[in-house]
Amino acid sequence: MGANLSKALGKIFGNKEMRLLMLGLDAAGKTTILYKLKLNQSVTTIPTVGFNVETVTYKNVKFNVWDVGGQDKIRPLWRHYYTGTQGLVFVVDSQDRERLDEAKQELHRILSDREMKECLLLVFANKQDLPGAMSPAEVTEKLGLHKMKDRSWYVHPRYVAALDADHDAVRTGGALGRNSRQCYRPVEQTRRVLTLAAVPPVSVARCATTGEGLFEGLQWLSQNVRRQTK
């Protein structure tokens, strides 16, 4: 009864809950991102064996974020977390060119599951500060996102500090799509194009240590989940 009352009050006052599933290959930076969102600080992490779950509230949306380990032996268990997922946060190590095709295969396998047909897709192109990191446009191309004709997706450049060094990186650029519409443009042009494409405007990542890039991803999700629930 308490849960039903909470949902009813949420509808009245505009509060929403959204279940997010954060997946990606091992060492992509998923857990670091999760606790940057939760604590707004970088923390030392170890490889996730199993899962972490945290609640992050942003813009009147309560995000229940499930971070599941990405080791190859754990990936067959991902499907047990699909039910009820409204948004998939897929994290990519932008420097790991050798495994990007593997990441692509895993992403498309996830999205082909019937439980994930309706979920939004947010891709974090992580570790943008590292030498040789792929641009958001390159990540988008190599993941085959242009072929998605019936799904809202957003690729966001994102940097999370390496554990052995401190960085103050600034990164711009981004890639967006809805029903096969996408763009790679400066932020002001992006805002105009997205308005025409009926996707909410989203800013690009700024200072990595502030976590702004992460919360802009949540902004995109929060606006789109409202559209889905209307």
Residue that has been written with the tokens 């972490």 in this structure: 52
**Residues in Cβ contact with 118 at an 8 Å cutoff, skipping those fewer than 6 apart:** 86, 228
Cα 35 from chain centre: 14
DSSP state of 96: -
Nearest-angstrom CA–CA distance, 71 and 74: 5
Which tokens in the block code for residue 8?
Answer: 């009813």
Of 71, 95, 128, 228, the catalytic one is 71
In terms of phi and psi (left: phi > 0; alpha: psi -120 to 50; beta: otherwise), the region of 192 is alpha
Active-site residue 71, yes or no? yes
Backbone angles phi, psi at 170, to 5 degrees: -120, 130
Q: Which residues are catalytic?
A: 71
